[in-house]
Amino acid sequence: MSEKTRNTPTFILFSAIGGFILAFILYYFLQNNTPQQISPTTVSVTDSNKHFNPFDSSAGQIISFAPAVNQAAPAVVNIFTRKRVRNFQQAYIKAPLGALMDKPLPPSQYREENNLGSGVIVSSQGHILTNNHVISDAQDIEVLLKDGRYMRAAIVGRDLETDLALLKVTAEHLPIIQFGDSSKVQVGDIVLAIGNPFGLGNTVTSGIISALNRSQFRANSFDNFIQTDAAINPGNSGGALVNTQGEMIGLNTINISNSGGSQGIGFAIPSSLVQDIMYQLITFGEVHRGWIGIEAREISPMLAQQLNSESTQGLLIIGVLQNGPSQKAGILAGDIITHINNIKITSAKNALKLITNLRPGDIAILRGMRRNQSLQFKVIAEERPQMSGS
């Protein structure tokens, strides 16, 4: 092999290395000195200090509840009441046993009892809605507005069956709550509870709607509560439950707790019911409800089978008040009522609402069955007897 042939691979190797180095130098030079045309859409600038916020308004979500609070909170007031309560225990402690046995009890001693709650301004004329249990038996009722104004309030009317009461103050430039449509709320909606817990003053708590149409926690036939886990503590009664637009969709009324504090189970009266009662109290000073004088039981499929009835929904009449509207119309115990004014009865609560929505003197057409024979009755509604109590 010649010397020239032996050196050929070495020459080729060095040539390749030199070419690679030259190409790298040219590429580097061109990249740093040639203007580049880059479309702005291909470049994204990231701020290392900015993190994604799931409540960012740019993503169409709520970044703060402050606007809702600013709209609703001025219309929520603190209510303070005073009443005199008989203190029988004090008389027994002071009187000797012999005196109690031989003589009448001495005059009862009294003590002053203070109570607190919340209310919501609902009209420019000074009407304030609250719970009846907040102002029950009160001799003095005073209201503190969020703007610091302090004034006395008078009772316009109350409704024991829904635990609602309407007060009135004399003042100008009052903030008014905006009502929302409680029929459109859904489980999972965000809500805010505004009130006066423990006398602390205007306070906001947040949560969601936990359930709808709750009625089994109190013996009141008209209960149709919105359940929420927004904290409702003593003093919140009568305050507003509002949506994220600051509209009142319920009036806070009770909570369920072993300790007396909030445990995430609170209840509000739906705004649709609140408004109906409010208008009646403003107009009449009381609530008028229809009544037809029956005692009834809701029909279930099992009960229908036991009765050998063709109807699986409606009311089984188990009692008719003597000389009451239903007896006068010819209704008997054992009859089944399936429709009221052509509206089908789907539950006892549904039937109660249909009846109580009648006004005294209204004529109601009841359709039903007696021993599987179709019947129709014309009932003239009367005034529903008032509940006893304060």
* pLDDT, tens digit (0-9, with 9 covering 90-100), for 290-325: 999 999 888 888 888 888 887 788 899 999 999 999
Q: Which residue has the higher pLDDT, 60 or 351?
A: 351
Q: How many folded domains does the chain comprise?
A: 3
The verdict on whether 133 is a catalytic residue reads yes
Confidence at residue 231, expressed as pLDDT on a 0 to 100 scale: 85
Give the pLDDT band (50/70/90) at residue 35: very low
Catalytic residue among 133, 229, 262, 309: 133
CA–CA dist 37, 49 (Å, integer): 29
Confidence at residue 346, expressed as pLDDT on a 0 to 100 scale: 87
Give the pLDDT band (50/70/90) at residue 91: very low
Find the DSSP H helices in the chain. 3-33, 66-72, 88-94, 97-102, 132-135, 271-284, 301-307, 325-329, 348-356
Decide if 325 is inside a domain. Answer: yes
Decide if 11 is inside a domain. Answer: no
**204-213, 222-231, 269-278, 313-322: segment of lowest average pLDDT:** 222-231
Confidence at residue 99, expressed as pLDDT on a 0 to 100 scale: 52
Give the pLDDT band (50/70/90) at residue 110: low
Catalytic residue among 163, 223, 229, 335: 163
Residues 163 and 185 in one domain: no
Three-class SS state of 111: strand
CA–CA dist 56, 279 (Å, integer): 40
Residues 159 and 187 in one domain: no
Decide if 347 is inside a domain. Answer: yes
Beta strand residue intervals within 163-217, DSSP E: 164-168, 178-179, 190-195, 203-214
Confidence at residue 367, expressed as pLDDT on a 0 to 100 scale: 93
Give the pLDDT band (50/70/90) at residue 257: low
Give me the chain's average pLDDT, please.
Answer: 79
- 134, 168, 202 - which closes a domain: 168
Confidence at residue 200, expressed as pLDDT on a 0 to 100 scale: 81
Contact 166, 129 (CB under 8 A): yes
113: domain range?
69-168
Per-residue pLDDT at 190 exceeds 50: yes
Contact 312, 304 (CB under 8 A): yes
Catalytic residue among 118, 182, 210, 237: 237
Confidence at residue 234, expressed as pLDDT on a 0 to 100 scale: 83
Residues 296 and 212 in one domain: no
Residues 138 and 164 in one domain: yes
Residues 129 and 145 in one domain: yes
CATH number at residue 133: 2.40.10.10
Per-residue pLDDT at 377 exceeds 90: yes
pLDDT digits (tens, 9 = 90+) for 4-25: 444 555 555 555 555 556 555 5
Confidence at residue 102, expressed as pLDDT on a 0 to 100 scale: 52
Confidence at residue 248, expressed as pLDDT on a 0 to 100 scale: 95
- 268, 284, 300 - which closes a domain: 284
Confidence at residue 302, expressed as pLDDT on a 0 to 100 scale: 87
**H/E element holding 151?**
strand 150-152
Q: Which residue has the higher pLDDT, 20 or 232?
A: 232
Mean pLDDT in residue range 273-286? 92
Per-residue pLDDT at 3 exceeds 50: no
pLDDT digits (tens, 9 = 90+) for 38-63: 343 333 333 334 443 444 445 556 67
**91-95, 149-153, 165-169, 350-354: segment of lowest average pLDDT:** 91-95
Residues 268 and 297 in one domain: no
CATH number at residue 377: 2.30.42.10
Confidence at residue 49, expressed as pLDDT on a 0 to 100 scale: 40
Mean pLDDT in residue range 281-298? 90
Mean pLDDT in residue range 144-162? 92
Decide if 49 is inside a domain. Answer: no
Which of the 8 DSSP states describes residue 221? Answer: T
- 264, 284, 304 - which closes a domain: 284
Per-residue DSSP letters for 261-315? S--S-EEEEEHHHHHHHHHHHHHHSS---EE--EEEEE--HHHHHHHT-S-SSSE
Per-residue pLDDT at 285 exceeds 60: yes
Per-residue pLDDT at 64 exceeds 90: no
Per-residue pLDDT at 242 exceeds 90: yes
Whole-number percent of the chain with pLDDT over 90? 41
**H/E element holding 378?**
strand 373-380
The verdict on whether 163 is a catalytic residue reads yes
Residues 280 and 205 in one domain: yes
CA–CA dist 194, 119 (Å, integer): 10
Residues 275 and 194 in one domain: yes
Confidence at residue 193, expressed as pLDDT on a 0 to 100 scale: 93
Confidence at residue 61, expressed as pLDDT on a 0 to 100 scale: 64
Token digits for 169? Answer: 């103050």
Residues 277 and 306 in one domain: no
Decide if 265 is inside a domain. Answer: yes
